[in-house]
Structure 1
Amino acid sequence: MRATVTIHRDFTISDIDERIYGAFLEHLGRAIYSGIYEPDHPSADENGMRKDVIDLVKELDVPVVRYPGGNFVSAYNWEDGIGPKEDRPVRLDLAWHTSESNEVGIHEFADWCESVGTEMMLAVNLGSRGLDAARNFVEYVNHPGGTYWSDLRKKNGKEEPWDVKLWCLGNEMDGPWQIGHKDAAEYGRLAAETAKAIRAFDPKLELVVCGSSHSGMPTYPDWEATVLEHTYDVVDYISLHMYFANHEKKTGNYLALTHKLEAYIDTVAGVIQFIKAKRRSKKDIYISFDEWNVWYHSSQQDRQILEGGDGWPHAPALLEDIYNFEDVLQVGLVINTFIRRADVVKIACIAQLVNVIAPIMTERGGEAWRQTIYYPYYFASRFGRGTALNLVIDCPTYDSDAYSDVSYVDISAVHNETDGTVTLFAVNRHPDESIDIDATLEGFEGLKVIDHQVMTHNDLEASNTRSAPSEVAPRQGNGAELKDGKLSASLPPYSYQMIRLGR
């Protein structure tokens, strides 16, 4: 089986905003406590943060991390997480039926972000609270001094403001499960007024308004239209969320779900253009896909805690999906989609970063290791920065139960003009056959294959564990060759590959 690809230097989609390789950390399960923060761990630094986790996150080069939620933020009092730790209150977290110690708050999270080299993307509570708490939080975080909130920050040990640029106006406010759930008009008005107040403080801040929690919501896509009617002039992004599952255990159907993702992006992009035209606006609004990942492996085991059967435990194991090789392919496909839609998707956050549906797992007091999905995320974050190229692909297809003409080969390409590289990320969805790629490069001179990484496994269910942390890992590929402007490579069945071309 064969696929042909045309790659032209001038056939571009958009410059990629590096924040599409962002991540998310919520006060949920063990994401914070025994994830990034474990003062008694042998590797803990002076702030109680696990150095082994810091090293793994630094390796990923994550540009931005969204915090503190998520559903958690909709009943969160940010003031609970400041001041001396011994004075901080323990609260019940209604979103996840657990207790919150507030040992980690904005100061601790900001210090951790500095240690891993990432920026903060902060969310304000528009569920149980509103405009006043939001503006106070922004002032505490960003104002230099001379006011109540900024001087309180100084008193709590941070002399200079953090100058956070990116703020989320609540979380999933369309969801009936959300504390303080609102209908679209109610939320749109609140978000607009909150945005106006924040912009009165600093008009240069970037604001994200809540879109639909997923494309199956009964209010989708009317929600987007109504919310944008209220907020179009005062926000910069609208958020989308999507999780991927294979409950039916049909790999072909599972790996076709990115067609649903593409339709979701296309629809919301269309709504944005509709409201822009309706308002006769010159302004562009983009998509922040600030929650996405595979999530289904842990659904049954979490039920007892989420239904209150264990009382109100602190930092229990929740949403701890153990990812397999099949999920490597799915994550690679999702990231390829974001690269190809870099014209409209400017921010994306894998949810989450540690322990909770995450590429990094930890053991309390013990090891930290890379889950299978760590690797496609790593390759894209490290080498997928630059300009997304618009490829012409001719490849055999298959039909899933929900979608027709699903290409067996899914591929994206990024040109980094700074270092002169072209990087291809490719997934073969075929269960049985290798697919040979013939790619013609036009407008590029003097390139050669400088790196070739391949991920395959004879067991789709294979996973990485504490005792076998490298069961699923990339290996150096062979056989990829660039000669006279023609790249040839072979993609084994059910495989993920990265091919880098440079001088």
Structure 2
Amino acid sequence: MTPPASHPAPGRIGPADSSFPLDRRVFGGFVEHLGRHIYDGIHEPGHPSADARGFRGDVIELVRELGVSTIRYPGGNFVSGYRWEDGVGPVAERPRRLDLAWHSTETNEVGLHEFSHWLDQVGSELMLAVNLGTRGTAEALDLLEYANGAVDTEWVRRRAAHGRAEPFGVTMWCLGNEMDGWWQLGARSAAEYGALAARTARAMRRFDPHLQLVVCGSSARSMPTFGEWEREVLSHTFDDVDFISCHAYYEERDGDAQEFLASAVDMDLFIRQVVEIADEVAAARGSDKRIMISFDEWNVWYQSRWNAIEGTQPLGEWPVAPRLLEDVYTVQDAVVVGDLLITLLQHADRVASASLAQLVNVIGPIMTEPGGPAWRQTTFFPFSLTSRLAGARVLPVAVETSTFRSSRFGEVPTVNAVATVDDGGLSLFLVNRSLEESAEVRIDVAGHGAGFDVAESHLLHEADRYAVNTLDDPDRVRPRPFDGVAIDGGVLSATLPPVSWAAVRLTPRPVGG
């Protein structure tokens, strides 16, 4: 077999004074009442592994392994029609409701109390979204008081009667979801939404001035209102919020795999443009405040497949937990996910929160079968390894690499990389976006220690880039040791095969070693 052509890719990790801190909330997730995410996903009382509250133990273990820091809940499109009161109190007395977002029936078996229990099991913090679609400021304040109140009020008494005397202590709140989108219940213009979000934020801060609040940015960079939406919304909310959201999903279209492998370039542009707009608003106000980004929905999602079947569902049927948006992910998809993670880390000076959307069954890195097993999709691995290996500070990596031509972005670098550092060593994350060529990577790490050893290395690559993990073959794709990684004279060298993602952990060489 003839080996693929290769090109040199020398690089250098930036100096220590170019680093910036990494907020662990970048490794967040997203759980929505959608399809089989909650019911038959994380919650299945009849499953052999289920705990006393009906949550699957096998899924809990996989979410722990995935390493999600925060989880955004309960939506998503779902939240814009959600009455939070339906999800508290005795489960047998909770109402069944029609979910207009996903044309389903919501049983409300899982609500704030149950989900908080699940978060305790997986070791993640709650990021709570309020409904600013069909509801408004008053209902957001009621939820805030119910969740976080500590004095003797009616909402606090109800919470205690429902089994929780202590506050939930939620610190991060999303002011609605995708309010620029025509598909969203209660969608508004930027001026209308900005005014509502500002009123709600100011009211919530009267309860607790230390809350961290996320205002809705554009639901995609391709939205016709992108840019002007951010300017208008921030003109209303700048003084009252901490974050503006970004949402982005990517897929291979029309069989153009090389263009798909450039997806992270779009994310990079999205972040840069939103930061520029936020800073323009700050400058116009004479403020040195920096609005941070919460990239609280991102993933590979084959929306074109969903759009093809969306209109075929019978309107008279409202199923409970139907199989929706259950994409099966390939190695190529996982490489793109790894590249998107690299991009989020590269912007960690302004991206202080991010949520992989979603976690289980629904475009998720974890899949389940009712009564049966749970397994890792290909996209599980770059997330879990990056979350585990990433250090406390991010270091830029400048790589001299070949390029390929993108119809949307022009010349795109073939290799992308980022590094992180902590007291225990240095981690390097790399991707080769080329469909055809290997990359001979040589990264100078000498400026960050007298000497390093390779502690562990992982390569995600298959000859068949469309290989997947399934119920019948759940371990078809797994990362393997990145053979050939070496350190010599302060230079790390390795060969990245085409369409591959890699993670390398370096630890300081013992004195005299």
Q: C-alpha distance in 1, partners of 2:484/2:457?
A: 9
**Within 5 Å, which residues of 2 pair with 1:29-44?**
29-44=35-50
Q: C-alpha distance in 1, partners of 2:34/2:308?
A: 12
Gaps of 5+ in 1: none
Pairwise CA distance, 1:466: 1.2
Pairwise CA distance, 1:13: 4.2
| Alignment-derived partner of residue 444 in structure 2 | 440
Pairwise CA distance, 1:235: 0.3
Match of 1:472, SS state, is coil
| Alignment-derived partner of residue 468 in structure 2 | 463
Task: Name which of 204, 225, 229 aligns with 2:231.
Answer: 225
Pairwise CA distance, 1:305: 7.0
Pairwise CA distance, 1:186: 0.6
Q: Deviations over 1:5-25 (max 9, x none)?
A: 111442534211111110000
- Over the aligned positions, Cα root-mean-square deviation in angstroms equals 1.4
Pairwise CA distance, 1:176: 1.0
Gaps of 5+ in 2: 1-6, 509-513
Supply the AA of the counterpart residue of 2:149.
Answer: H
Aligned 8 A contact 2:36 2:361 in 1:
yes
Q: C-alpha distance in 2, partners of 1:189/1:400?
A: 39
Percent pairwise identity: 47
Match of 1:288, SS state, is strand
| Alignment-derived partner of residue 496 in structure 1 | 501
Q: C-alpha distance in 2, partners of 1:280/1:335?
A: 33
Aligned 8 A contact 2:98 2:106 in 1:
yes
Q: Deviations over 1:406-463 (max 9, x none)?
A: 111111111123x2x1111111112222211111111322311111111111112110
Aligned 8 A contact 2:299 2:337 in 1:
yes
Match of 2:63, SS state, is helix
Q: C-alpha distance in 1, partners of 2:311/2:366?
A: 22
Task: Name which of 384, 388, 391 aligns with 1:378.
Answer: 384
Q: C-alpha distance in 1, partners of 2:64/2:480?
A: 21
Aligned 8 A contact 1:7 1:392 in 2:
yes
Task: Name which of 482, 485, 493 aligns with 1:480.
Answer: 485
Check if 1:325 corresponds to 2:331: yes
Task: Name which of 248, 270, 289 aligns with 1:264.
Answer: 270
Check if 1:449 corresponds to 2:454: yes
Give the TM-score normalised by the residue count of structure 2: 0.96
Q: C-alpha distance in 2, partners of 1:201/1:30?
A: 35
Q: C-alpha distance in 1, partners of 2:313/2:274?
A: 33
Pairwise CA distance, 1:168: 0.2
Match of 1:390, SS state, is strand
Aligned 8 A contact 2:35 2:324 in 1:
yes
Aligned 8 A contact 1:25 1:31 in 2:
yes
Greater alpha carbon shift after TM alignment, 5-14 vs 405-414 = 5-14
Q: How many residues end up aligned between the 2 structures?
A: 501
Check if 1:61 corresponds to 2:67: yes
**Within 5 Å, which residues of 2 pair with 1:63-462?**
63-296=69-302, 299-300=305-306, 303-304=309-310, 307-309=313-315, 311-417=317-423, 419=424, 421-441=425-445, 442-462=447-467
C-alpha change, 1:249 and 1:302, in structure 2 (3 Å) is closer
Aligned 8 A contact 1:302 1:318 in 2:
no
Pairwise CA distance, 1:247: 2.1
Q: C-alpha distance in 2, partners of 1:31/1:300?
A: 16
Aligned 8 A contact 1:360 1:369 in 2:
yes
| Alignment-derived partner of residue 3 in structure 2 | none
Check if 1:17 corresponds to 2:31: no
Q: C-alpha distance in 2, partners of 1:306/1:27?
A: 21
Match of 1:246, SS state, is coil
Pairwise CA distance, 1:311: 1.0
Q: C-alpha distance in 2, partners of 1:405/1:445?
A: 36
